[in-house]
A and B are shown apart, each in its own frame.
Chain A
Amino acid sequence: NAGVTQTPKFQVLKTGQSMTLQCAQDMNHNSMYWYRQDPGMGLRLIYYSASEGTTDKGEVPNGYNVSRLNKREFSLRLESAAPSQTSVYFCASSEGPLSGNEQFFGPGTRLTVL
């Protein structure tokens, strides 16, 4: 099992460019999540998908869109990147709701917006 995989590992964008971060899990988990982590801070939830076909906003959803493509894949899209979106992005998954289900994280995507 690869667990949670993310692509790309690194990306540099110019302000206004768009891109999609990809995430896939092979653990047959129902729930998937996107977080961002800024230097010296904890993770903040952007969006999550409790189950295939559903998505919900987290703490910091502005400037992002998500797609739960199927049970395995959950993508995060930046339509018009801004320097404030420079961060490390982590995808995660869990079998069910976090209360009682361990959350597994991917290795992260380091994004720089110039």
Chain B
Amino acid sequence: GESVGLHLPTLSVQEGDNSIINCAYSNSASDYFIWYKQESGKGPQFIIDIRSNMDKRQGQRVTVLLNKTVKHLSLQIAATQPGDSAVYFCAENILPHNNDMRFGAGTRLTVKP
């Protein structure tokens, strides 16, 4: 079946560097995507979202890029800080169910001081 997945399970970066976390999706009908951050022992926290009619969306220190041609999603974190260490999930909205988000397996980001 179609699913959301991630290229890299772990990512280690130096504090102050930029981080890029990638996600591949295969459901061409999905029109809405979310990135979540999950710290140890906590529930996921919304970071940023993007609709399929956009290629790029920026937030505070984060940017999401969507490439529909190759069904690829990425999360860029600028000037990565120790507090950014967490597991990051991408999720896609499985149409036509507006309340059904499918999550990828996650990437663990570790920021070295």
Contacts and interface: CB of A to CB of B under 8 A. Distances in A.
Interface of A: 4, 31, 33, 40-45, 48, 50, 56, 58-59, 90, 92, 94, 97-100, 102-108
B100 A43 contact: no
Contact of A42 (B46, B51, B99, B103): B103
A105 B45 contact: yes
Given A42-B105, A99-B32, A105 B91 contact: no
Contacts of A50: 99
Contacts of B41: 107-108
Interface string B87-113: 001010100011111111110000000
A68 to B, nearest CB: 13
Contact of A44 (B93, B99, B103): B103
